[in-house]
């Protein structure tokens, strides 16, 4: 399934198209800031983004979002939530943005809305589950192998310092393991 096809197949394109935008996010730019009101769903057409939480001087990486994946953290119909995370582009990225206002401004058939919300919920669940399966491992090397197997071409493109914050280790530790050929 590409982009927001699951929405397009249920509603006419005339209604949906005006709620979608293609945005370019340059390396280092933010897609979402921590504390920002969540109003859009996102699909990554190309690039890699990092979802992280900042607390004081420290930060930890929660997950990585890359081509072919959705960023649906803002999906809570009717709620006015603020993001717990910042989402930053790790490389130039092309994103399709879909405004949640679409679901609030149109008099839409409840059955169709329910189908779309079920689809979004399932996508969000699958995405979160993938990252929880990696983080659920106790040992760093098990997490690392799980990450590499799940995302074989991704880990090479992510800066080591961000991988370190995801795995809760230092960049030096990753360098040491690479030097020892354990990674």
CATH of the domain at 53: 2.60.120.10
Output phi, psi for 14, to 5 deg: -60, -40
Average pLDDT, the chain: 84
- Cα separation, 19 vs 16, in Å, equals 6
Residue 146 lies in a domain: no
Residue 163 lies in a domain: no
Helix (H) or strand (E) holding 95: strand 93-99
**What's the pLDDT band for 1 if we cut at 50, 70, 90?**
very low
Number of domains in the chain: 1
Q: Can you give the residue range of the structural domain that contains 31?
A: 5-109
HSE, side-chain direction, 13 A CA sphere, residue 3: 15
CA dihedral 53, 66, 69, 46 (to 10 degrees): 130
Output phi, psi for 95, to 5 deg: -125, 140
**What's the pLDDT band for 32 if we cut at 50, 70, 90?**
very high
pLDDT digits (tens, 9 = 90+) for 45-89: 999 999 999 888 888 898 899 998 888 775 555 566 888 899 999
pTM for this structure? 0.83
- Cα separation, 9 vs 90, in Å, equals 32
Parallel, antiparallel, or unpaired: how do β-strands 93-99 and 20-25 relate? antiparallel
3-state secondary structure of 32: strand
Lowest average pLDDT, out of 37-41, 73-77, 129-133, goes to: 73-77
Residue 176 lies in a domain: no
Residue 80 lies in a domain: yes
Distances (CA, A) of 112 to 41, 109, 125: 18, 5, 20
């Amino acid at each position: 399934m590409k982009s927001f096809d699951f929405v397009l197949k249920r509603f006419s394109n005339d209604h949906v198209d005006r709620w979608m935008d293609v945005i370019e996010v340059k390396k280092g730019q933010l897609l979402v800031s921590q504390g920002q009101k969540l109003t859009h769903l996102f699909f990554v057409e190309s690039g890699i983004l990092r979802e992280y939480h900042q607390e004081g001087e420290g930060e930890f990486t929660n997950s990585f979002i890359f081509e072919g994946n959705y960023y649906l953290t803002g999906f809570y119909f009717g709620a006015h939530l603020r993001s717990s995370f910042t989402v930053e582009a790790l490389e130039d990225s092309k994103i399709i943005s879909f405004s949640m206002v679409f679901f609030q401004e149109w008099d839409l058939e409840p059955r169709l809305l329910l189908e779309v919300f079920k689809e979004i919920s399932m996508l969000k669940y699958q995405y979160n589950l993938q990252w929880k399966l990696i983080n659920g491992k106790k040992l760093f090397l098990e997490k690392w192998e799980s990450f590499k197997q799940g995302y074989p071409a991704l880990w090479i493109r992510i800066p080591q310092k961000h991988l370190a914050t995801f795995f809760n280790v230092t960049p030096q530790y990753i360098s040491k393991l690479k030097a020892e050929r354990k990674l």
